[in-house]
Structure 1
């Protein structure tokens, strides 16, 4: 996606006030829609009711609902309480609540907050409507203008004052967009009394040249420690090389700084894929699954989870790869970390994160993970009594209440699986996909039985101790 920023210059103050009023009504509509979505209202009902309430056409209302839904989903993905979202910015709102700010400083801060809260308008693109129906770029003899639908078949024209982008005038790019009729989204924002516009255009990507025919690069993004683990495999799934890219810059700093470095890390991954001539495999996993409370201390884990823009980084990798003609394969991430830590970390003496990246790469090639025979033998000797003893051990030794709760829940599930098998005569574990005891159930029980005793109080990253069990079938005192 290409975004072009520009400033709007109005022919007179009256036109500007009309647009500001439209932005205020649209912003109110979006906030109202957000509250109603929290209450369970559906889009169809909202679209019908909000048009008359805020004096907006159906397309503006639909766009407001879409933005509200996007904000709601974003809050949930970040693990935040959607009911506590503050439009206008939580930081600004918090500063306004502090009594030591007054006079001009307070007035300036309040104006900034109101601009962010009330000075917004979004209009999505539509190819069938000459690019955009409500906010359309029009090229005239005296310049390039944005035609804004302000209701009742009335329009306000504002001149687009654009700068430069990639050695080409933004205005020239906007003219090309207007003449091509490609869909483009328009977003207006009020800042320091001026109205700025952001044009977003979907890119046309080149034909894919680098595919999975010669193998893939599997990547696993980790919240702690901040790093991208990658593995290179051939077309048969054999491990060729691997590495890790530390990302310390994402742990702190301004949002602009973190955004800059996300692009840099994405460039590094795509560069590796191009040099090795292999496609990229990524997992569609949300960050909230990567940094749950209990992995480390609660506060630290939550800070990492909220600052580590996992989804944003994946999106940038996908975008850059498409620009370079590199195929990107997205896979189901279920149990990639568990399989990696139990099967490949001890086998190749690699880290848990590298092993997870290896599983991701193999899954991108649609390869099944055969469960090692010695693991099956081990699980056939495992008893419910042993898991009950482990449960008591966790209760006594684990101090972190979130981690303790997580362990106990996993042990309980493992016990239920074993009990269901013990009710069958001649129990023999043969984990197969599609059976009552699936391969995923196997990995879950195995993780509880061997990983939890080794490191009950923190996430273990070195699994070399499992090599003896994996290769020779020997486990601790057995």
Structure 2
């Protein structure tokens, strides 16, 4: 018995030593304070010689933010934090019962909203039914503190839902917003793009960059007094990438911050009283590329934005007459037509400016275009035979 017990202890010691060694090479999937900082205790010489210094910095990173959820039955929407509207002082009590006061807490953006939310909560008679919780967050950045007030804001009652003057179609891309201005009957007026760069940026920086461009985009809709039409995309599977695909393409897929774009545009549009319509994204880029890119002399993304806008207005974009001869089954949904044509016309995008002209439906595709490579020409002959 003693021998077996001793063997188990030796085995446990071996497993713990193995686990200890593993922590030096393997970083856990979830680390409070950040993986980079956690790994630095083994990689940086200053922390290897002075581990207490690393522990102090790591502790600061783990405890730099405090968020207290609100309660709708509290007088000020929160039992820990109370904000005085008159002198703009924030009072709160620590876990040890010590009271603190932060004077002159001003919000450069949304001070009136904070005042209205807190005043409404304080004057609310039946808080259990009509009360609203107000959460507070404090972030320690050593040289300064950032204080955030999180509250439910009443939606803007004056939202422009009308499409009587047309819409603004928007195509979201990894490095720009492409937009197109449409009339109420689906005709093209103008288009453009709002470029930005998120390569090598942190998550917070990407959010701010996208929010700045979302403001410019919504300002266009406000000036033209038209709602915005966006794609209802699901990028969950596409972000995983393809193991055997081009590395650059996989990198672009992972950078595509579509959810951040949608949140930025919708929140800004709601604030400015502009409605956002979301439509099915299927074959909008294909239809724009084959039907409208050459016709209006615009980029593929602007053509896709135009197609998105037309779909938001309820119009169906069927293939042009010049391409009907290459469709085998005509009694199916027009999305199947776009799928077939996209597979057959598998050439570089810019060639569609010269490959055929949608304004001359009785002509055929120019298979002897000098810009076509030999491989592309063979593929087209085989597909369109």
TM-score clears 0.5: yes
Q: Who is 2:105 aligned against?
A: 163
SS in 2 for 1:355: helix
Provide the rounded CA distance (Å) in 1 between the counterparts of 2:243 and 2:193: 21
Provide the rounded CA distance (Å) in 2 between the counterparts of 1:282 and 1:133: 37
**Match 1:231 to one of 174, 180, 192:** 180
After superposition, the CA RMSD in angstroms is 4.1
User: Which ranges of structure 2 fall in alignment gaps of 5 or more residues?
Assistant: 1-27, 124-130, 368-380
Provide the rounded CA distance (Å) in 2 between the counterparts of 1:372 and 1:161: 67
Q: Who is 1:146 aligned against?
A: 92
The answer to whether 1:467 aligns with 2:368 is no
Q: Who is 2:262 aligned against?
A: 314
| 2:71–2:79 contact (8 Å) kept in structure 1 | no
Distance 1:156 1:243, change over 3 A: same
| 1:130–1:182 contact (8 Å) kept in structure 2 | no
Greater C-alpha Rg: 2
Provide the rounded CA distance (Å) in 1 between the counterparts of 2:59 and 2:246: 34
The answer to whether 1:137 aligns with 2:43 is no
Q: Who is 2:56 aligned against?
A: 111
Shift of 1:115: 4.2
| 1:184–1:200 contact (8 Å) kept in structure 2 | yes
| 2:41–2:47 contact (8 Å) kept in structure 1 | no
CA deviation digits over 1:365-414, x for unaligned, max 9? 1222223344343122xxxxxxxxxxxxxxxxxxxxxxxxxxxxxxxxxx
User: Which ranges of structure 1 fall in alignment gaps of 5 or more residues?
Assistant: 1-82, 381-427, 433-438
Provide the rounded CA distance (Å) in 1 between the counterparts of 2:32 and 2:65: 11
**Match 1:92 to one of 37, 40, 54:** 37
TM-score, length of structure 2 as denominator length: 0.69
Indicate the structure whose relative CO is greater, using CA pairs within 8 Å and at least 6 residues apart: 1
Shift of 1:208: 1.3
User: Where in structure 2 are the equivalents of 1:342-421 lying within 5 Å?
Assistant: 342-380=290-328
Q: Who is 1:221 aligned against?
A: 172
Q: Matched residue pairs, number?
A: 330
| 1:252–1:307 contact (8 Å) kept in structure 2 | no
Distance 1:163 1:347, change over 3 A: same
Q: Who is 1:252 aligned against?
A: 200
The structure 1 segments of at least 4 consecutive aligned residues displaced by more than 6 Å after TM superposition are: 167-172, 193-196, 289-292, 294-297
Distance 1:370 1:308, change over 3 A: closer
| 2:240–2:254 contact (8 Å) kept in structure 1 | no
| 1:284–1:330 contact (8 Å) kept in structure 2 | yes
Shift of 1:172: 7.9
| 2:242–2:250 contact (8 Å) kept in structure 1 | no
The answer to whether 1:443 aligns with 2:338 is yes
